């Protein structure tokens, strides 16, 4: 049985399930357990690395912004 049920517009993205460590195609798991959507399976497999890099960039931007804080 498909997780999309009778949805006329089923989700077709690729997701990385953080609970299971598996890549999924479509809306198969709870949203809280997924990273994505990604355009393809290979990119979804890299989800944790992508998230790490995005976090590093955001942390660097925060640190740069905070350096200008005149508390």
Q: Domain coordinates of the chain in residue numbers?
A: 14-67
Residue 12 pLDDT grade (very low, low, confident, very high; cuts 50, 70, 90):
confident
Provide CB contacts within 8 A for 18, sequence distance 6+: 33, 34, 35, 48
* Per-residue confidence (pLDDT) for residue 1, from 0 to 100: 38
pLDDT by residue (tens digit) across 24-49?
Answer: 998 899 999 999 999 999 999 999 99
The backbone torsions φ and ψ at residue 32, rounded to the nearest 5 degrees and listed phi first, read: -65, -20
CA–CA distance, 34 with 28 (Å, rounded to integer): 10
pTM comes to 0.72
CA–CA distance, 63 with 45 (Å, rounded to integer): 29
* Per-residue confidence (pLDDT) for residue 8, from 0 to 100: 72
Q: Are strands 23-25 and 14-17 parallel, antiparallel or unpaired?
A: antiparallel
With a cut of 70, say whether residue 3 has pLDDT above it: no
Residue entry with tokens 């798991």: 29
């Amino acid at each position: 049985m498909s997780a999309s049920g009778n949805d006329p517009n089923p989700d077709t993205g690729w997701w990385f399930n953080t609970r299971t460590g598996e890549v999924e195609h479509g809306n198969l798991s709870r949203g809280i357990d997924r990273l994505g959507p990604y355009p393809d399976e290979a990119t979804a497999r890299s989800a944790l690395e992508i998230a790490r890099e995005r976090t590093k960039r955001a942390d660097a931007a925060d640190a740069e912004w905070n350096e200008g804080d005149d508390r």
